[in-house]
Amino acid sequence: MRLLLIRHGETFSNLRRLLDTALPGAALTPLGLRQAAALPAALAGEDVDALYVSTLVRTQQTAAPLAAARGLEPLVRGGLRELSAGDLELRGDDAAAELYMRTAFAWSAGDTGLRMPGGENGVEALARLDAVMAEAAGSGAGTVAMVSHGAAIRMWTAARAENVDVPFAAAHPLDNTAVVVLEGTPEEGWKALSWMGAPIGGPVRADHRADSPAGRPVTPPPVGPPPVSPPPGAAGLD
């Protein structure tokens, strides 16, 4: 099975750098809606047979243009929701972001018993994500697109893809509407083919971000002060 893991478009919580993981979650910004509208063209070369989304509103908004363009009914699955922030929910400070991602990548590295403060542990998080992957693989679909969340995609891929490790996933945050492409099955394992348009294990083109609708904004963002840079590994986490 070919698996397209797509991070949702930009949200209002993203602008404030908040750990927004609870239902229903923030909606897409105007730029996020334009990013979502660009997905059908960005994925024009993919024969998508099934489309899955999480229970958070931002993934459903992101998937809507693709669903309309392909005549697909999005399948809503709670297993694709963002990693629960627990006691860190709606915090936007560097310490919270660092603890959140450190815990997530500990799960990828095998410390699945570790629990997010007030939230889920790695066994629970991986089990729910694995269940959706298994459902999709069992459906017989050749190519499946799943609109999920930055930390969930990075954590699961680092844990399950044979050629993506924690240092790589930690060093490569996902832009909004960026795509990670994998091939495989739950039984045979998974191999990542590309990360935000850059081939895994191959040369990285200087312009690879153009392959993602989020790589270059569809229209210029509003003029304003430059965004505050997040701590290493914290960007693209919800």
Judged on CB neighbours under 10 Å (0-12, 13-18, 19+), 218 is middle
- Which strands sit side by side in the sheet containing 179-185, from one edge to the other? 75-76, 50-53, 143-148, 2-7, 179-185, 189-195, 198-199
- Which pair of structure tokens corresponds to residue 169? 């996933």
Q: Tell me how far apart the terminal alpha carbons of the chain are, to the nearest angstrom.
A: 26
Which 3 state secondary structure label does DSSP give 80?
A: helix
Which of 10, 82, 120, 172 is the catalytic position? Answer: 82
Say whether 8 is catalytic: yes
Is 76:55 a contact under the CB 8 Å cutoff? Answer: yes
Q: Smallest Cα–Cα separation from 125: which of 89, 149, 94, 97?
A: 149
- DSSP letter for 22, please: S
208 as an active site residue: the answer is: no
Residue 186 CA, chain-centre distance (Å), reads: 19
Coil/strand/helix, residue 143: strand
Just list the catalytic residues.
8, 82
